[in-house]
């Protein structure tokens, strides 16, 4: 059975035999929900390339002491994948973030596309972004990721253009595109940007802005996927042809 995973702020310099203290919500979840007790084993990660396996050596109300038994470090996976996700309606945004995190993306960028049904403004924007980030955090722990993804602040189309211009490969999912995603060469290193449009589809102006910045307009297949699952399909198709999945 896999050991439970908890997130801590930092593990730089931690060595075997050290004691790491977990506090706050993570400790509460471990102690009150998972009912971790002294002598039990678990994994702690900082989400930035380091994870430790250890044994619980002390338990408090909102704190947990873990004695380090082994330390694992990992380079950030390459190529890194950034998904620009147009805002979906309802809770489909959180579904998209969850599956994209599980499949290994480095960053999710919520995007206010011209035809997005959902609108993030004021207090709603702050709450929605917080839910996306919480979803990514929990999904990363569930997927046992050492590198956790970033969920950026809400982006506009101009921000997406800048991301595309800086990428080693950028693709825009479009049902009417002539090029197939399967035919696009995948870089071995660097960054890949995948742009996923909203339920209402991309505007001609958006597609032009993105392709002018260097993106390739591509289709996945004959089927039209929901915006909340199209990113997962595209990233999986790309990673299956990269060293990350070989």
pTM above 0.75, yes or no: yes
- Compute the mean pLDDT over every residue in the chain, rounded to the nearest whole number: 95
Residue tagged 């996306």 (tokens): 132
Q: Is the per-residue pLDDT at 117 higher than 80?
A: yes
With a cut of 70, say whether residue 1 has pLDDT above it: no
- Would you state the pLDDT for residue 102? 98
Q: What is the pLDDT of residues 198-240, one digit of tens each?
A: 999 999 999 999 999 999 999 998 888 999 999 999 999 999 9
- Residue-wise pLDDT tens digits, 59-116: 988 899 999 999 999 999 999 999 999 999 989 999 999 999 999 999 999 999 999 9
Residue 20 burial by CB count (10 A; 0-12/13-18/19+): exposed, middle or buried? middle
Question: What pLDDT score does 194 carry?
Answer: 98
Contact 185, 163 (CB under 8 A): no
Length of the chain: 246
pLDDT value, residue 11: 95
Domains and CATH numbers, the chain: 5-73 (2.40.240.20), 80-245 (3.40.1280.10)
Which H or E run includes 92?
helix 92-103
Closest CA to 81 of 67, 102, 51, 53: 102
* Distance in angstroms (rounded) separating the CA atoms of residues 75 and 144: 15
**Which residues are CB-contacts of 183 (< 8 A; sequence separation ≥ 6)?**
none
Over residues 146-166, mean pLDDT: 98
Average pLDDT over residues 120-140: 96
């Amino acid at each position: 059975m896999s050991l439970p995973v908890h997130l801590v702020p930092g593990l730089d310099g931690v060595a075997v035999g050290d004691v790491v203290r977990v506090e706050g919500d993570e400790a509460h979840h471990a102690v009150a929900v998972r009912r971790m007790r002294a002598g039990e084993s678990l994994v702690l990660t900082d989400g930035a390339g380091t994870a430790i396996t250890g044994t619980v050596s002390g338990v408090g109300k909102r704190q947990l002491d873990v004695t380090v038994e082994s330390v694992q470090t990992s380079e950030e996976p390459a190529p890194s994948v950034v998904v620009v996700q147009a805002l979906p309606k309802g809770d489909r945004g959180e579904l998209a973030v969850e599956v994209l995190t599980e499949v290994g993306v480095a960053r999710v960028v919520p995007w206010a596309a011209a035809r997005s049904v959902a609108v993030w403004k004021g207090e709603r924007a702050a709450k929605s972004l917080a839910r996306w980030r919480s979803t990514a955090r929990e999904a990363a722990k569930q997927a046992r990721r050492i590198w956790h993804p970033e969920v950026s602040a809400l982006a506009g189309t101009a921000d997406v253009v800048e991301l595309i211009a800086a990428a080693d490969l950028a693709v825009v999912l479009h049902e009417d595109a002539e090029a197939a995603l399967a035919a696009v060469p995948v870089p071995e290193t660097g960054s890949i940007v995948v742009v996923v449009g909203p339920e209402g589809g991309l505007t001609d102006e958006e597609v032009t802005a993105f392709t002018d910045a260097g993106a390739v307009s591509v289709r996945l297949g004959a089927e039209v996927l929901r915006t909340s699952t199209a990113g997962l399909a595209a990233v999986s198709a790309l990673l299956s042809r990269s060293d990350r999945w070989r």
